[in-house]
Structure 1
Amino acid sequence: MARMSWDKLLNNTRLGGRPPKSELGRSPFHSDHDKVIFSGAFRRLARKTQVHPLATNDHVHNRLTHSLEVACVGRTLGVRVGQALLNERLIPEQHSASDIGDIVQTACLAHDIGNPPFGHTGEEAIRHWFSNGVGARMIESLPFNEATDLRRFEGNAQGFRVLTTSEYHPNDGGMRLTYASLGAFIKYPWLAADAINRQRPVANKYGIYRSELAQFNEVADATGLLALGEGWRCRHPLANLMEVSDDFCYAILDLEDGVEMGILDWDKVFEILCLVLDDQQKNQLLKEIQGMKVGRRLSMVRGKVISAFVDAGATAFMNNHDQIMTGQALGILELCDQNVRDCVSAAKGLARDEIFQHPRKVELEIGAYSTISTLLDVSCAAAMDYVRKGGVADSKTRRVVELIGVDLKALDDNAGISNEYGAIMQVLDYVSGMTDNYAIHLARQFSGMGAERL
């Protein structure tokens, strides 16, 4: 059976075949981490919804704080796995455990970088617009693969586009990260149409737009990801560590936010988190947190639970190394100890039942549909008119495309996709990159009901 090679999986060449720089005190993989941290797309996550839109409580997570916390867990998990791989002589000696940690940390930092304003509701609102009314009519003549990308807009695929196309060096390598970091980022290494047709392991989820197929193939070939079908590769092994770090964090942190906002009861949350602790740990913890305020209790419990999660994740990865390296594993959460699986499952269930359906959250999310619809009504109409008329535009259209930054030359240079699809993707780069606050502001401006921006 074919196996992936760690020598290729840890490829430090940059997208486009660019050689890595030699820098004192900074490896190419650490440089990837810094490129993501300093990007505008990453910085804007500070004003994007994690779970609670437009939260005024400063203790509640946004996309930025969530991504930073996932990166902390991912780095620890990566270093732990990296050291185990070195101990068993499974990775080349020129690499260190820190290299694995840096790659996983970079992927974790970037894992939500393509999410639109209003979180998953924003994704649903974009899909809704392209599947109904004016949006559906606008794309009805596009090839099926292109139209499916729009009808099933996906933050994971948009994230890969941010990293490889739209940020830093537009249409010329994007952030120009290493092949290893890009490979570790791709959670669903296949195209939209196949997933929608239930021909992939996860239905309705995908990680690559048609517009970035060439970049995906370049990364997959450079890292030696096994081909499983046309436009379909196996996961990079380290993508599993990125994914499970995210699972671990939002299992805990969504509940923390629920307690902080008075939606969840502390005792119920404590009972779920203690599923991964033995009786001695639980009893000791109960003594330590006695008399503490709830906020401090959460901090005490979190550290012990995350430590247990990391232990379980590293053990699951190493115990199933052969299965992972032959492309047979899609995720490692289900390979973890039963108590860890039970804890994560119970936490997700509680969040789904009592947080995600909270009236305040639902009310704001319904409004997000109107905001996204207004932005796309104006922006897509202008972009399509501009492209179809070859750059000739009336004054309103010209102002809109200048605001968005529609680049006709980039459309002509991108062979294999239609100009209409390419133009809409540029609109989605603009709209999905907005913060919650700016999206609301601009929608009001487009409606003629806004105030002057200070």
Structure 2
Amino acid sequence: MNWQNLISNKRLGQEDRHALRHDDRSEFKRDSDRLIYSAPFRRLQNKTQVFPLPGSVFVHNRLTHSLEVASLGKSLGDDVARKLIKKHPELQGTLFEEIGTIVQTACYAHDMGNPPFGHSGEKAIQTFFTEGSGAYLKDKVSPRFWDDITHFEGNANAFRLLTHRFLGRREGGFVMTYSTLASIVKYPLSSSLAGKHGKFGFFASEEDIYKKIAKELGIISKQVSDNGTAYARHPLVYLVEAADDICYEIMDIEDSHKLKLLSFEETAELLLGFFDEETKKSIRNRIVEEGVTDKNEQVVYFRACAVGLLEALCVDVFVENEEAILNGTFEGSLIDHIPTLQRNNYKHCSKVSVEKIYSSKTVLDVELSGYKIMETLMEALIGAAVEPEKFHSKQLIRRFSSQYDIQNPHLEDRIMAVIDYISGMTDIYALDIYQKINGISLPII
């Protein structure tokens, strides 16, 4: 792969058409603006990140997480661009200079396909078909479609959300640039090739779109079979992944301190664990010199130091491994290749997160409730899609927005319309529909 081909401002759905532009925004900046002003992006403010949506203590939701990931992604992209332009002077003055904006936009989009209630919502969609009342549908749909819905993936759903032509919408969905779309696809393979880990980057319905993008950008094809295609990652995916990896691990620790799941001492140990003893001492001395006595502010300071260090290390890994990344032979994430001290502490942070954060009562409660809500919605709405002629089904179908193709004569398309509808819900809206379906909540008469 080469950078000249990989960075393209060609737009999906407008390949042969170039509208007159009346301002100086780049095509990649247009992508960024388009996402920020979109309804699916706004809905992230009412989608769970890890902890339940805020009460008296404000913690991260999907929107604040995405904004922070995008900020870090921009820094990663800009720093990589600056270093690689020194290495390859011929890239100066080309679209390569804008990779920071491309990574930033891909970071904005990376969680847009996630359903309500975080990973428990994702699991509820999968298990409805594998273990729940939707299992009987296996014989009514194609094997490829069954693989897609039983391994439902938020990343693949984000690609669909941005590229699919929903009813009443224009060709190309959001009509994003090819490079931005490719930078979103963390697992560039179809569900049939995903194996036990179940991670994939596009549904069968969008596979041809990804193939077209990959061909245009010169993305390496790794496997082609009757079951689908697997590709090397677009190089910028590694930067999007690094921004996400750093933010969710570090910010969850900060949130846990605010919620008193971790003590100040535990939090400080985790965040300063990325540094050698001399640097730890220097950081603590700076806090004293600057008069920062508030414990929460000290945690913020430690967090900023940790994020800054990890960002710089990931940039170095990317630049040092540029050839392997472009050849499609680079293994693992950028975090997997940072120096041993930082890599081991990152693993330690992950271990503590599983033991003390993700297993906490507050997190488990929202997962249990969210799973039940999603299970109920899937059962009711998929049932309506399968038997649309029933009276109750007709009532439920009337709840759907006009963009969802719930009246399609093909069962697979109707099932996908339900998944599109449910996965686009906020936590609050999903709860509201759940209560109405169960007769718990009634409009005031």
The answer to whether the superposition gives a TM-score over 0.5 is yes
Query: 1:263 is matched with which residue: 261, 264, 276?
Result: 261
1:360 positional shift = 2.3
Distance 2:338 2:165 in 1: 37
Q: After superposing the two structures, state which structure 1 stretch, 242-251 or 293-302, moved more.
A: 293-302
Distance 1:274 1:133, change over 3 A: closer
Q: Secondary structure at the match of 1:404?
A: coil
Query: 1:281 is matched with which residue: 279, 282, 301?
Result: 279
Please give the residue correspondences for 1:34-433 in structure 2 after superposition, counting only pairs within 5 Å: 34-89=33-88, 92-95=91-94, 98-165=97-164, 170=169, 172-196=171-195, 198=196, 203-230=197-224, 231-290=229-288, 292-330=293-331, 331-386=333-388, 393-405=389-401, 419-433=410-424
1:411 positional shift = 8.3
Match of 1:452, as an amino acid?
P
Q: After superposing the two structures, state which structure 1 stretch, 203-212 or 175-184, moved more.
A: 203-212
1:225 positional shift = 0.7
Q: After superposing the two structures, state which structure 1 stretch, 318-327 or 204-213, moved more.
A: 204-213
Identity %: 32
1:83 positional shift = 1.1
- The 8 Å contact of residues 113 and 159 in structure 2, kept in 1 or not, is answered as yes
* TM-score between the two structures when normalised by the length of structure 1: 0.90
Distance 1:52 1:79 in 2: 31
Is residue 437 of structure 2 the alignment partner of residue 443 of structure 1? no
| 1:97-131: CA deviation from partner (whole Å, max 9, x where unpaired) | 65110000011111111011000111111111111
Root-mean-square deviation (CA), in Å?
A: 2.3
Distance 1:256 1:206, change over 3 A: same
1:382 positional shift = 1.2
Q: Secondary structure at the match of 2:222?
A: strand
1:350 positional shift = 0.8
- The 8 Å contact of residues 115 and 122 in structure 2, kept in 1 or not, is answered as yes
Match of 2:77, as an amino acid?
G
The runs of at least 4 aligned residues of structure 1 exceeding 6 Å deviation read 406-412
Q: Secondary structure at the match of 2:10?
A: coil
Q: Secondary structure at the match of 2:399?
A: helix
- The 8 Å contact of residues 244 and 313 in structure 1, kept in 2 or not, is answered as yes
Q: Secondary structure at the match of 1:228?
A: strand
Distance 2:37 2:167 in 1: 10
Match of 1:381, as an amino acid?
G
1:169 positional shift = 6.7
Residue of structure 2 equivalent to 1:389: none
- The 8 Å contact of residues 191 and 209 in structure 1, kept in 2 or not, is answered as yes
Question: How many pairs are equivalent?
Answer: 435
1:276 positional shift = 2.5
1:280 positional shift = 3.7
- The 8 Å contact of residues 162 and 176 in structure 2, kept in 1 or not, is answered as yes
1:444 positional shift = 0.8
Distance 1:374 1:121 in 2: 13
Distance 1:328 1:411, change over 3 A: farther
Match of 2:395, as an amino acid?
R
Distance 1:90 1:437 in 2: 51
Q: Secondary structure at the match of 1:113?
A: coil
Distance 1:409 1:42, change over 3 A: closer
1:15 positional shift = 0.7
Distance 1:320 1:179 in 2: 24
1:273 positional shift = 1.7
Distance 1:169 1:161, change over 3 A: farther
Is residue 2 of structure 2 the alignment partner of residue 11 of structure 1? no
Q: Secondary structure at the match of 1:103?
A: helix
Distance 1:228 1:136, change over 3 A: same
Runs of 5+ consecutive residues of structure 2 not aligned to the other structure:
none
- The 8 Å contact of residues 376 and 434 in structure 2, kept in 1 or not, is answered as yes
1:419 positional shift = 2.2
Distance 1:19 1:11, change over 3 A: farther
1:424 positional shift = 1.1
Q: Secondary structure at the match of 2:71?
A: helix
Match of 1:276, as an amino acid?
F
- The 8 Å contact of residues 167 and 405 in structure 2, kept in 1 or not, is answered as no
- The 8 Å contact of residues 383 and 406 in structure 1, kept in 2 or not, is answered as no
Distance 1:320 1:167, change over 3 A: farther
Distance 2:49 2:262 in 1: 17
Distance 2:38 2:378 in 1: 25
Distance 2:438 2:406 in 1: 30
| 1:32-79: CA deviation from partner (whole Å, max 9, x where unpaired) | 111111111111110101001233144200000000000000000000
Distance 1:139 1:420, change over 3 A: farther
- The 8 Å contact of residues 405 and 413 in structure 2, kept in 1 or not, is answered as no
Match of 2:24, as an amino acid?
G
Distance 1:52 1:10, change over 3 A: same
1:167 positional shift = 6.9
Runs of 5+ consecutive residues of structure 1 not aligned to the other structure:
387-392, 413-417
Distance 1:212 1:58, change over 3 A: farther
1:395 positional shift = 4.3
| 1:247-303: CA deviation from partner (whole Å, max 9, x where unpaired) | 111111010111010101221221122232243432232134356222211221122
* TM-score between the two structures when normalised by the length of structure 2: 0.92
Distance 2:261 2:371 in 1: 24
Distance 1:12 1:19, change over 3 A: farther
1:20 positional shift = 5.5
Match of 1:11, as an amino acid?
S
- The 8 Å contact of residues 46 and 426 in structure 2, kept in 1 or not, is answered as yes
- The 8 Å contact of residues 85 and 91 in structure 1, kept in 2 or not, is answered as no
Q: Secondary structure at the match of 2:33?
A: helix
| 1:190-248: CA deviation from partner (whole Å, max 9, x where unpaired) | 0112113x5xxxx3211111111111111111211101012111100000000011111
